[in-house]
Amino acid sequence: MEYVYAALVLHKAGKEVTESSLKSVLEAAGVKADDGRIKALIAALTDVNIDEAIANAAPVAAPAAAGAAPAGDAPAGDAPKKEKKEEGKKPEEAAAGLGSLFG
């Protein structure tokens, strides 16, 4: 995907999208450029009007918020109750259980 982004950056900057310019942008971004992928992208873009392709691109719908219930599942007043925290544990006791995670 970074190859396409690099081509779009060049296009937006008004530069010609060539193998050498694409490689320069990728290397400046810290990407190890693959000559085969660069050649394939340049070949794929030869007859493409990038401005027209961007204008005709389908907008991507934003994903629904995580944890949002689909419409009709539960009335708004019936929100799930949060569990009570275990009180009375000292911080040392709580941290002792974490040791098992890290050996």
Query: What are the tens digits of pLDDT across the range 66-98?
Result: 666 555 555 555 555 655 555 555 666 665 655
- Judge: domain 2-56, CATH 1.10.10.1410: yes
Which two three-digit tokens encode residue 57?
């691109």
Residues 6+ apart with CB under 8 A from 38: 3, 19, 22, 23, 26
**Model confidence at 39: pLDDT above 60:** yes
User: Taking 60 as the threshold, does the pLDDT of residue 11 lie above it?
Assistant: yes
**From the CA atom positions of the chain, what is the Rg in Å?**
26
